[in-house]
Amino acid sequence: MKLLPLVVSAGLRLALVLALAPAAQASPWAEVRAVSPGPSAAIGEAANGCLAGAASLPANGEGFVQIRRERLRHFGHPVTLAFVRDLGVDQAQRTGRYVMIGDLSQPRGGLMSSSHRSHQNGLDLDIWFQFADSPSQAQRAYPESQSPPSMVRADGLAVNGYWGREQRLLLKRAAEDGRVERIFVNPAIKQALCESETGDRHWLRKLRPWRGHDAHFHVRLKCPQDSPACEAQSPIAAGEGCGADLAWWFTEEARKPKKGGEAKPAPPMPPACRALLANQDLARKQ
């Protein structure tokens, strides 16, 4: 693999380290057990927002099953649930197997106490690369303590034998969906696709390399029209993303980031989210 040089500023390096660190703090949003009444709306950013009028993803449906529902992270904006249903139907018609869905958002979104900094405004979801033969088989095989297999070699430099045609096609179908803003995948998976894809490669642009994401990929949807308070990320740069930006992820600097540095102050919570959280005591009793 030929790696191209890339100069990364100290500020960007620190931002990447902080962004990649998992959330490990107690969050009051995790105590809320009920969705808010009223119309659905994604509020704020993926990493600083909340979700009004959330919808609950069913435990399973045609071509999909959600695992680890005991986390109470099976809520999302209706557009997110529609995306899951459509992806499941496509999977069922092609293979008869089930796509396994991981975390969406909490009942009112907001910061989770573990695993994610994002997933806050109801437009993020995790999808495992491994498939299930039935909903019951998925629940038995993958409890909280057992994750589906990684698609990446132990050295992190390439995909392994678990990666195949069906994984590629699932990712491609998700990326080609017009509702999808971007998808986070392991750099080795992005690299494999950059090297193997022929013909129409436009969908590669949406695949953003990110540490982890070797057993699942993280989908982020666009802000829906019914959510004027939703804040989208900056637009993705032009091109396929198969050049120097991707090569940096295989450098020593990226693979072994230095720990430490000043903690980045948390941004102020959107006013609409403060209002949703203010009713958390009532929500706990519902």
User: Quick check: is 167 in a domain?
Assistant: yes
- Residue 144: per-residue pLDDT: 84
What single-letter amino acid sits at 100? M
User: Quick check: is 10 in a domain?
Assistant: no
- The arrangement of strands across the sheet holding 180-185 comes to 60-61, 64-66, 98-101, 124-132, 216-221, 180-185, 207-209
- Residue 260: per-residue pLDDT: 65
- Residue 228: per-residue pLDDT: 97
User: Quick check: is 20 in a domain?
Assistant: no
CA distances, 9 to each of 134, 173, 253 (Å) = 47, 35, 12
pLDDT, tens digit (0-9, with 9 covering 90-100), for 119-169: 999 999 999 999 999 999 999 999 888 889 999 999 999 999 999 999 999
Q: With 50 as the cut, is the pLDDT of residue 23 above it?
A: no
Question: What is the extent of the structural domain holding 134?
Answer: 25-285
Give the closest residue to 55 by CA, choosing from 117, 104, 128: 104
Q: Report the CATH number at residue 252.
A: 3.30.1380.10
- Confidence at 261, pLDDT banded by 50, 70, 90: low
pLDDT, tens digit (0-9, with 9 covering 90-100), for 61-76: 999 999 999 999 999 9
- Residue 5: per-residue pLDDT: 38
Structurally, the chain folds into a number of domains equal to 1
Look at 7-21, 67-81, 242-256 and tell me which has the smallest mean pLDDT.
7-21
User: Quick check: is 14 in a domain?
Assistant: no
- Residue 286: per-residue pLDDT: 36
- 146 with 113: CB under 8 angstroms? no
- Residue 34: per-residue pLDDT: 94
- 51 with 111: CB under 8 angstroms? no
User: Quick check: is 168 in a domain?
Assistant: yes
CA distances, 238 to each of 7, 49, 53, 198, 203 (Å) = 19, 27, 35, 19, 12
User: Quick check: is 71 in a domain?
Assistant: yes
User: Quick check: is 17 in a domain?
Assistant: no
Return all residues near 270 (Cβ < 8 A) that are at least 6 apart: 43, 44, 48, 49, 50, 229
Q: With 60 as the cut, is the pLDDT of residue 22 above it?
A: no
- Confidence at 176, pLDDT banded by 50, 70, 90: very high
- 193 with 165: CB under 8 angstroms? no
User: Quick check: is 3 in a domain?
Assistant: no
Region label for 152, one of left (φ > 0), alpha (ψ between -120 and 50) or beta (otherwise): beta
262 or 43, higher pLDDT: 43
